């Protein structure tokens, strides 16, 4: 099985193939096709005769039916979705929930549309209509999702796939046989439930872009083969990652599949956000550095890896994840790992920055002075952990009346300009959280720094300014101005808050930034 992305025609073919069995069977039921009707009635009559003669057998199937209820299958999907959400597999989480919801909604819609009565000689009382079987449909969606699609997408080993698939298939068969043995569904009702489940899984999998992940074996090195497998170093902020063991298994398996040696693992500390760890990776001459953490951890590691030529892969695990967003790396953990490891190398700029009271360092995203830094400083860490980047929205509301400040800005060798502003942002990239294009022309590899000055005079002017930013309007005026340069120096008249890549660095009056073109190699998704 290859790992190429399917074409539009291939996706369409998959959807049509998945819908075809349900479409054909439903058409035959609707037309009351005689061979199908005779088959259903013959099976129902035989089951009824056997059930009347074996009441204990009926009791057994009735107890089993109470266990394999449709809501039991849906509950399993919801529990697995919650597990995936906790482990940041957001795309798979939504896929499972949408699949379960589609099964519930379509099941009742089909029953209502066709209104097929249950077999007249049923062995137990059963409410509702017959076509399609809810037990069969729910069990099929659960089994197909957890036993086929999920293991394939996650690249499980064959024995693990079988450990999940075999019990899942058993549940489908038991849930379906129960409906027939109790004579509350025709055989075609059960087959219709399977076909509906297949249609749902096929359509939702294609809609969410799910595709099989191949098992790649690590190359064995023998005495006759001097090829050394590549090695990666993984730098982790343990506070941001959460379940460290699960993360290690996921990343380790993904690297092994792609022929990497056992990775080196480094944890950042409260005293060191990544400097020593990045230096150790350099000294070990690794082939790839993966950094999993917030914007601060990513900034520190990228700053240290500049000019080394070692590619850096960003695995988003923080609140903003701004560099990942701007490089097109998915925020879903599984997708991010796949995009980085199967991606390509790209050289981007770093920006060397200094200021009063600050050592010279580098950033890859943005630095700011004024309101934006005040918003970042006032966002409570616990709130960011609970609700993510929306914590900044709450902080922004608190700081909406942040005072303006007089600044002098020098761009390259041009004469300084004086402005009274609410905030000044200098950026290597341009997109904020929620895909807000603050610097719409910024590119990480254009050898330029983009600068924006935001200076509303009154609170009532903020909505129009925000609308201009979201709409990517490039018009400059007294309230919003943009510039580009290779060297930028900002001097404020008073101390104001400052930030680097989403981390507050304390108040000061100066920020000086200079671009360093193409000094960092990063891994980005293939185009």
pLDDT tens figures, 327-341: 999 988 888 999 999
Claim: this prediction has a pTM higher than 0.95: no
Running DSSP on this structure, what letter comes out for residue 147? I
pLDDT band at 436; cut points 50, 70, 90: confident
pLDDT band at 10; cut points 50, 70, 90: confident
**Cβ partners under 8 Å of residue 48, min gap 6:** 119, 121, 122, 123, 183
Q: Is the pLDDT of residue 5 over 60?
A: no
In a domain, 2, yes or no: no
| Assigned token pair, 515 | 């671009």
In a domain, 26, yes or no: yes
- Name the residue with higher pLDDT: 444 or 59: 444
| Nearest CA-CA partner of 353 in 483, 510, 494 | 510
Kindly report the average pLDDT of the chain as a whole number: 87
- Name the residue with higher pLDDT: 31 or 159: 31
Q: Quick check: 449 and 428 in contact, CB under 8 A?
A: yes
Residue spans of beta strands (DSSP E) within 287-343: 288-293, 312-316
Rounded CA-CA distance 69/166 in Å is 19
DSSP per position, 24-48? HHHHHHHTT-HHHHHHHHHHHHHHH
Three-state SS string over 454-492 comes to ECCCCHHHHHHHHHHHHCCCCCCCCCEEEEEECEEEEEE
Q: Is the pLDDT of residue 160 over 90?
A: no
What total number of domains does the chain contain? Answer: 3
What's the Cα-to-Cα distance from 180 to each of 52, 134, 433, rounded to whole Å?
14, 12, 53
Query: Of 329, 348, 367, at which residue does a domain stop?
Result: 348
Q: Are residues 394 and 504 located together in one domain of the fold?
A: yes
Rounded CA-CA distance 21/510 in Å is 68
Res 385: pLDDT:
61
Burial of 5 (0-12, 13-18, 19+ CB in 10 A): exposed
Q: Are residues 374 and 477 located together in one domain of the fold?
A: yes
| Assigned token pair, 443 | 């590119």
Chain centroid to CA 520: how far?
A: 25
Q: Are residues 497 and 364 located together in one domain of the fold?
A: yes
Read off the pLDDT of each residue in 285-308 and give the average, rounded to a whole number: 94
For residue 324, the cross-strand partners are none
Q: Is the pLDDT of residue 342 over 80?
A: yes
Tokens 């050592």 sit on residue:
359
Q: Are residues 159 and 276 located together in one domain of the fold?
A: no
Domain that holds residue 262: 232-348
| Nearest CA-CA partner of 508 in 395, 373, 356 | 356
| Nearest CA-CA partner of 139 in 171, 187, 95, 101 | 171
Sign of CA dihedral 69, 72, 77, 78: positive
Q: Are residues 188 and 257 located together in one domain of the fold?
A: no
Q: Is the pLDDT of residue 37 over 80?
A: yes
- Cis preceding-peptide flag for 132 (omega within 30 of 0): yes
Q: Are residues 291 and 314 located together in one domain of the fold?
A: yes
In a domain, 525, yes or no: no
Q: What is the pLDDT of residues 344-378, one digit of tens each?
A: 999 999 999 999 988 899 999 999 999 888 888 77
Q: Are residues 175 and 317 located together in one domain of the fold?
A: no
Query: Of 207, 224, 248, at which residue does a domain stop?
Result: 207
Read off the pLDDT of each residue in 106-124 and give the average, rounded to a whole number: 89
Read off the pLDDT of each residue in 484-499 and give the average, rounded to a whole number: 95
Read off the pLDDT of each residue in 69-83 and give the average, rounded to a whole number: 92
Read off the pLDDT of each residue in 23-44 and give the average, rounded to a whole number: 93
Rounded CA-CA distance 250/189 in Å is 40
Q: Is the pLDDT of residue 216 over 50?
A: no
In a domain, 481, yes or no: yes
Res 14: pLDDT:
87
């Amino acid at each position: 099985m290859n790992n190429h992305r399917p074409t539009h025609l291939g996706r369409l073919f998959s959807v049509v193939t998945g819908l075809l069995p349900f479409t054909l069977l439903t058409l035959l039921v609707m037309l009351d096709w005689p061979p199908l009707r005779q088959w259903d009635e013959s099976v129902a009559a035989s089951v009824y005769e056997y059930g009347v003669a074996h009441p204990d057998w009926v009791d057994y199937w009735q107890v089993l039916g109470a266990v394999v209820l449709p809501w039991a299958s849906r509950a399993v999907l919801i529990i697995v979705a919650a597990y995936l959400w906790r482990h940041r597999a957001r795309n798979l989480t939504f896929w499972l929930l949408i699949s379960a919801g589609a099964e519930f909604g379509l099941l009742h819609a089909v029953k209502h549309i066709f209104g097929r009565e249950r077999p007249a000689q049923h062995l137990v009382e059963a409410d509702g209509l017959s076509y399609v079987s809810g037990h069969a449909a729910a069990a099929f969606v659960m089994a197909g999702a957890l036993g086929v699609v999920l293991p394939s997408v996650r690249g499980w080993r064959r024995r693990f796939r079988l450990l999940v698939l075999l019990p899942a298939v058993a549940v489908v068969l038991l849930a379906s046989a129960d409906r027939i043995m109790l004579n509350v569904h025709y055989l075609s009702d059960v087959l219709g439930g399977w076909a509906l489940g297949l249609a749902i899984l096929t359509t939702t999998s294609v809609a969410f872009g799910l595709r099989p992940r191949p098992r790649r074996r690590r190359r064995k090195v023998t005495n006759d083969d001097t090829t050394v497998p590549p090695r990666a170093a993984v730098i982790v902020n343990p506070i941001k990652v959460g379940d460290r063991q699960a993360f290690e298994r996921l990343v380790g398996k993904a690297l092994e599949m792609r022929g990497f040696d056992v990775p080196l693992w480094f944890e950042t500390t409260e005293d060191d956000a990544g400097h020593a760890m990045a230096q150790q990776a350099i000294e070990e001459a690794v082939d790839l550095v993966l950094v999993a953490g917030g914007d601060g951890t990513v900034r520190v590691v990228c700053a240290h890896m500049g000019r080394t030529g070692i590619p850096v892969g960003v695995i988003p695990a923080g609140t903003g994840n701004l560099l990942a967003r701007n490089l097109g790396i998915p925020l879903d953990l599984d997708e991010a790992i796949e995009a980085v490891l199967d991606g390509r190398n790209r050289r981007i700029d770093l920006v060397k920055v200094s200021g009063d009271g600050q050592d010279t360092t580098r950033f890859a995203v943005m630095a700011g002075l004024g309101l934006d830094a005040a918003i970042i400083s006032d966002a409570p860490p616990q709130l960011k952990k609970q609700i993510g980047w929306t914590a900044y929205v709450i902080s922004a509301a608190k700081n909406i009346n942040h005072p303006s400040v007089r600044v002098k800005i020098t761009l390259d060798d041009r004469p300084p300009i004086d402005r009274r502003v609410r905030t000044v942002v200098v950026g290597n990239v341009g997109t904020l959280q929620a895909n807000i294009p603050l610097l719409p022309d910024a590119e990480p590899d254009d050898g330029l720094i983009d600068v924006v000055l935001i200076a509303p005079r009154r609170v009532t002017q903020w909505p129009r300014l925000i609308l201009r930013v979201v709409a990517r309007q490039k018009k400059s005026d007294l309230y919003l101005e943009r510039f580009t340069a290779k060297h930028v120096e900002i001097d404020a008249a008073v101390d104001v808050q400052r930030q680097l890549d989403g981390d507050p660095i304390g108040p000061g009056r100066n920020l000086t930034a200079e671009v360093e073109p193409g000094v960092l190699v990063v891994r980005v998704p293939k185009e």
